[in-house]
Amino acid sequence: MLTLSNVDSYYGRSHILHGVSLQVPDASFVAILGRNGTGKTTLLKTLMGLTDRMTGSISLGDVEIGTAPTYRRARSGIAYVPQGREIVPDFTIRENILMGSFARPDRRHVVPDLVPELFPYLIDNLDRPGGVLSGGQQQQLAIARALAAEPKVLLLDEPTEGIQPNIVEEIENIIIRLNKEMELTVILVEQNVAFARRAAQRFAMMEKGQVVASGGIGELTDELVHRHLAV
C-alpha cells in the first residue's frame, strides 16, 4: 500500500499541498480529480520527489520514501508518466523505452515483454526518432518507458489530454488492462469523469491543495462533480 500522511509540499515559498492524506491499496486504481490548479500534478510530483520541499510522510509498503531522492523512489517501484509525455525527440523509440529500464531492480536494459502486445506500432518502428510520432503514439511511448522500470505503482498525469480521439479509447483500455490484468497499482490524474468512473475503484477530489472528498468510485456523485469540477 502507498500511504501519504499529512503531506505538505512546496515550490520555493509557494505552499501547494496542505495536509494531504491518502491510502492507495495494492493493485488498486485511484483517480485524482479536480479543477486546473488544485494541486493534482503537484501531488504526483511530490510522490516522485520532484518538488522543492515536503513535510509529512510517504510510505510504500513498510518503507518510508518521503525523504528519498527521486531515483530511489523510482527503484522502489514508482513510475511516472508526466503531463506532456516528455519523451526525448532525438532519441529513437528503443532508446526512449530503455531510459525507463535504469530504474529496474535487476538493472537489465531491455524492452518489456508487454510492449509488443500493448503497443505493436512501437515495436515495428523501434529505430524511428520519438519526435516524429503523433501525440497519441508519444503517449504510448511514455507509458512503455514507464513499464520498462517494472514498476509496482504507475502515476499518470492526464494521459489522454491532447490525443487524437481515435486513440483516446485505445490508451484508456490499455491503462485499464495494466490495472486489471497485470495488477499494477494506478494513480491517475484526470478531468474526464466518465473515464474515471469506468476505470477507477477509488477517487480523491482536490480543491486548493487539499483532498476535499474521497472514497469508492460509486461515491463520486454528480453533486460532487458539479461542486468541484464544473466551471
Q: Check pLDDT > 80 for residue 21.
A: yes
**Per-residue pLDDT at 231:** 67
Which residue range is the domain that position 12 belongs to? Answer: 2-229
Q: Is pTM beyond 0.75 here?
A: yes
Share of the chain above pLDDT 90, in %: 93
Average pLDDT over residues 84-95: 95
Overall average pLDDT of the 67-85 stretch: 96
User: Residue range 125-143: average pLDDT?
Assistant: 96
**Cell numbers that stand for 225 in this block:** 462533480
Residue 3 CA to residue 22 CA, distance in Å, equals 6
| Average pLDDT along the chain | 96
pLDDT in tens, 176-223: 999 999 999 999 999 899 999 999 999 999 999 999 999 999 999 999
- What's the pLDDT at 155? 98
The domain spanning residue 192 has which CATH number?
3.40.50.300
User: Residue 94 and residue 187: Cα distance in Å, rounded?
Assistant: 26
State residue 69's pLDDT score: 97
Average pLDDT over residues 59-76: 96
pLDDT at 139: 96
- Number of domains within the chain: 1
**Residue 41, pLDDT above cutoff 70:** yes
In this prediction, residue 165 carries a pLDDT of: 87
User: What is the pLDDT at residue 42?
Assistant: 98
| Beta-strand pair 53-60/210-216 | unpaired
